Structure formats: structure tokens, C-alpha cells
Amino acid sequence: MRFYEIHLRPLSAWGTPLFGDTLFGQFCWQASYDPDLLDGGLDKWIELYPKRPFAVFSSAVCRFQINGKGIYACKRPDLPLSFFNSQTADHQQLFIERKEIKKKPWLLLEEDFRPDLRRLAGNQELWDLLLKTLSAPHSALYRRLRKSEVQPLMIIFPQPHNTIKRLSQTTGKGAFAPYVMENTYFIPGLELALLVLVDEDATDLERLCLGLARIGQTGFGRDASTGLGRFEVVGHRELPLPKLTEANACYTLAPCVPEKKSYKKAYFVPFVRFGKHGDRLAVSPRPFKTPVLMAAQGAVFVPQDPLAFSKPWFGQAVTGVSEVQKQAVVQGYTPYLPLTLEAGHD
């Protein structure tokens, strides 16, 4: 497997979070219309996917370029707060530390992608990193944001909607029924990164970026036809597969479905994927897939078998989720970062 980092720049608001399993589905649609994206075609690799994944996508993470090096803000691992505390016996100090930890939902990573549980960050730290990123190449934007108050780099904003009759361009008599959908807006200048595992027998970096660029042009996720979900591919690089000789846990980078009896301990937030078919099947009589219970990104698993670290992914594929597309598969795999958990924590 090859391990790639793809840089994305949002061009619009998004109606669907850029999660790895959803992005995998959209890339499969791109491969179905352009067989050249995968050697041997999509049908071949979908059949092999439960045992040999041809691509495993992470969810998007924030990326900051400072002094020629990247810094990444990922979701704080879903571990008990005791894993982040200092080893002090002072209960009052522990209480104060835990209050501060709750204010820091991000874990900062350097380019070597070695997680350090002491490097937590809040919105203030991320805002400062963004300003450092923009200070040279976007001086006008930097001056504008520098005068702004600190705020989250991704803001969820409610968007009012209503059902309109296309013939009359009205809601119809007695049919006024407004509703609200939440869209995610990004601070100008913010860059995102994807970490993707790719089987070199299936495709390569150039074709991977081509498929992603096409997704960005047409729009990702919900309401792409109205302009949401636009992005552009602005960079990429190949990375060495993450390795840590003293690792005893896996820190996941996308929603996943762990295999049964594959772990001794698990720390995660449950996440239900109410999947919907894409493209033309989205308007079929049965547009929805069977719900799948997953562990949200940021989960930490302690593998049962030490040989689990020989594979660059964690989890399994999920099949049998569609009545109208029998070969449909859900990416229950996730890229992970090896993590060392100290003994003695709850």
C-alpha cells in the first residue's frame, strides 16, 4: 500500500462533512463512469474490497503550512480525560486540568504524524496557526482576520429552505412549510488534508487526485446541485507508512467498523451512518441504504493481536447494505496512527 497526503481548499459551504467513508463512495462513482481510474475496473476491486481494499480514505483534517512544514489539527482522541492528565496526586489540580482539557478538542500533529497526547489545542491555538499560515502569501486576508475575534475555523450555520412548485414558483396554497438544514462554512484561507491508503496495483496518485478534483468540481455530498461541497486539489505528497515500534493502540482517522474480537480495549463515540445512494440511485424508489453502526473518527483501539500493526488500516468492509445495488460496500476501514498508551489509566 502507498500512503498519500492530498491537500484541499474549500470553495463553498458543505452540506455533508468530509468523512472518509462518504468520500470513498463518491470516488467509487467517479470510477464507475471513468474505468481508467482503476486498473481492471471498479467491479473487480469492489469484489476484492472485503479482503483487499484498493483505497482507504481518512476524514478531512485542518492543515497549516508554517515555515515550510505542515501542522495538522485532528479530533482529540476519544479517551478518558485521565489519559491527558499529568501524574499528580493533587485532586484539585487534576480537576483544574480536566476543565482545561475539555476546552481543547484538537490534537496537533507534526509532519511525522506521531501522536503526542500532550499536544492538545483549542480554537485560540488554531486561530494563531491560521494567522501564521496567512501572514506571508495572503497579506490582505491576514490583516483582515487579524482584526477579527477568535472563532472556530469551521462554523455550522442554519440555512432556511422551503418546498417550491417549479410551475408556479410558489409554495402553493396552504403549503408554506419552512425547514432548516445545517451547512458548514470555512474561514477563508483554511486548507484541509486527506490521508489516503492506496493499493498501487489498483491506481496511482495522479488518478486519485483526478477523481478527487472531479468530485470537487461537481460538489461533494448533500445539495451539491445547488453549489455546496465544492473544493479544489491544491497539493499532494507521498508519506511513509506510519510506524511506531512501542505502539500498543490505533488512533483512527475516519469512521470505522472494527472486526469482532479484534481488540482488547476500545474507546470511541458511536456513530450511525444512515447511508444514501449517490448519483442516479439517489432518485430511485429505494434511495437509502441499511444503517451501519460505526465508531466515529478519533476512536482508539488496543488490538488483540500485536500483528495487527503490520496492516496500515484498521476495521473491515461492510456489505449487504443495499437492496437495489447488491455489490454496494461501505468503507468500514480507516487509516490509523500508531499510539502508545501508558499503563495505569482508566
Count of all residues that appear for the chain in the document: 346
Residue type at 5?
A: E
Please check the confidence at residue 173 and state whether its pLDDT lies above 60.
yes
Helices (H), the chain: 20-33, 42-48, 91-102, 123-134, 139-146, 205-218
148 vs 100: which has the higher pLDDT? 100
Provide the pLDDT confidence category of residue 138 given band limits of 50, 70 and 90. Answer: low
User: What confidence score (pLDDT) does residue 147 get?
Assistant: 73
Q: How much is the average pLDDT of 191-201?
A: 96
Half-sphere exposure of 248 (CA within 13 A, CB side): 7
Provide the pLDDT confidence category of residue 12 given band limits of 50, 70 and 90. Answer: very high
6 forms beta bridges with 194, 236
Q: Are 325 and 101 in contact (CB under 8 A)?
A: no
Dist. CA 207–CA 27, nearest whole Å: 11
User: What confidence score (pLDDT) does residue 84 get?
Assistant: 86
User: What confidence score (pLDDT) does residue 306 get?
Assistant: 83
pLDDT above 90 covers a percentage of the chain that reads 59
167 vs 288: which has the higher pLDDT? 288
User: What confidence score (pLDDT) does residue 269 get?
Assistant: 96
- Per DSSP, the three-state class of 11 is coil
User: What confidence score (pLDDT) does residue 179 get?
Assistant: 84
Which cell numbers hold the place of 71? 501542522
Q: List pLDDT tens digits, range 254-287.
A: 999 999 988 999 999 999 999 888 777 777 788 8
- Per DSSP, the three-state class of 161 is strand
CA angle 194–215–55, rounded 5-degree value: 50
Q: List pLDDT tens digits, range 78-129.
A: 999 888 877 666 778 888 888 889 999 999 999 999 999 989 999 899 988 9
Please check the confidence at residue 58 and state whether its pLDDT lies above 70.
yes
User: What confidence score (pLDDT) does residue 211 get?
Assistant: 96
Q: How much is the average pLDDT of 27-52?
A: 94
The pLDDT mean for the chain works out to 89
User: What confidence score (pLDDT) does residue 178 get?
Assistant: 85
Provide the pLDDT confidence category of residue 344 given band limits of 50, 70 and 90. Answer: low
Residue type at 259?
A: E
User: What confidence score (pLDDT) does residue 88 get?
Assistant: 66
Q: List pLDDT tens digits, range 199-222.
A: 999 999 999 999 999 999 999 988
Q: Are 116 and 340 in contact (CB under 8 A)?
A: no
Rounded to an integer, what is the distance from CA 317 to the centroid of its chain? Answer: 17
Least confident span in 2-11, 98-107, 129-138: 129-138
How big, in percent rounded to 5, are the helix, strand and coil portions of the chain?
Answer: 25, 30, 45
Q: Where do we find the cell 476501514?
A: 333
Provide the pLDDT confidence category of residue 343 given band limits of 50, 70 and 90. Answer: low
Q: Are 320 and 282 in contact (CB under 8 A)?
A: no
User: What confidence score (pLDDT) does residue 334 get?
Assistant: 96
Nearest of 216, 148, 210, 204 to residue 8 by alpha carbon = 216
